[in-house]
């Protein structure tokens, strides 16, 4: 049961353009969402997060949008740079009690390639 | 420096042997996590712990065991019952408790290879 899904295994964009990475979730108990960036053989590094009480959070070139009714979130990177090339993971956690309390669940990841 | 440390970086194990991966954090975080990543795969949750002396199974706990005797330490044992142990293992910690909406910090990972 994949509760967090990133349906696009890869994305290729031109430098300077917008990169849009998508993520869907099924567990309605999730109330906090995060995006991570990962290079091979390294641990993921945190990029940006959003609470379920918001629908948008912005940090520099990175913006995360949350659509609770659709159980969908997206990460926008504008403008994209070659150094952004990496694997991007979305993650979700629940704090409303129940068996999922504190669990941090990741998607499968999307490989982003930004071409110069 | 505050951070989360995994050791060793590379580990080789013979089939049928148990092996323990170390994870230590000095961030004073309550919550700790173990994930496994296989080539081309996402991060799959093995075990997690919200507080000392308590832990829960994740999505792929079979063949693994953990302990949480100290706040700063969350070792993972890969037992001989784990059918496909070769993978990249990642440990993470998170503030937890009242600071529920926080990011998790990851270690640099341990590459386990069964020979």
A33 contacts in chain B (CB < 8 Å): none
Nearest CA in chain A to B107: A43
Each residue of B7-39: pLDDT tens digit?
Answer: 999 999 999 899 999 999 999 999 999 999 998
Q: Is the dihedral of CA B98, A36, A94, B86 positive or negative?
A: negative
SS3 A30: strand
Cα pseudo-dihedral B109, A46, A7, A20, rounded to 10: -140
Each residue of A30-85: pLDDT tens digit?
Answer: 999 999 999 988 999 999 999 999 999 999 999 999 999 999 999 999 999 999 99
* DSSP structure class, residue B16: T
**Gap between the Cα atoms of A90 and A44, Å rounded:** 11
Task: Using the predicted structure, report yes or no on whether residue A101 has a pLDDT greater than 80.
Answer: no
The per-residue pLDDT of chain B, averaged, comes to 92
Interface test with A, best of B35, B40, B42, B68 (most A CBs within 10 A): B42
The percentage of residues in chain A with a pLDDT greater than 70, rounded to a whole number, is: 94
Chain B nearest CA to A18, separation (Å): 24
Amino acid A94: pLDDT: 84
């Amino acid at each position: 049961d994949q509760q967090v899904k990133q349906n696009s295994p890869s994305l290729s964009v031109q430098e300077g353009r917008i990169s849009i990475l998508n993520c869907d979730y099924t567990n309605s108990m999730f109330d906090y969402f995060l995006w991570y960036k990962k290079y091979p053989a390294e641990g993921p590094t945190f990029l940006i997060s959003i609470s379920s009480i918001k629908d948008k959070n912005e940090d520099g070139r990175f913006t995360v949008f949350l659509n609770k009714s659709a159980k969908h979130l997206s990460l926008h990177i504008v403008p994209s740079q070659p150094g952004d090339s990496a694997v991007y993971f979305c993650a979700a956690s629940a704090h409303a009690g129940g068996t999922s309390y504190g669990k941090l669940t990741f998607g499968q990841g999307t490989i982003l390639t930004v071409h110069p | 420096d505050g951070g989360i440390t995994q050791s060793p970086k590379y580990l080789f194990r013979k089939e049928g042997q148990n092996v323990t991966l170390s994870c230590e954090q000095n961030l004073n975080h309550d919550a700790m996590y173990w994930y496994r990543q296989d080539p081309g795969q996402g991060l799959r949750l093995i075990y997690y712990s919200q507080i000392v002396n308590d832990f829960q199974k994740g999505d792929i706990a079979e063949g693994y065991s953990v302990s949480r005797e100290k706040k700063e330490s969350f070792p993972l044992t890969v037992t001989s019952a784990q059918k496909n142990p070769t993978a990249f293992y990642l440990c993470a910690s998170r503030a937890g408790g009242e600071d529920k909406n926080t990011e998790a910090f990851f270690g640099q990972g341990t590459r386990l290879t069964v020979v």
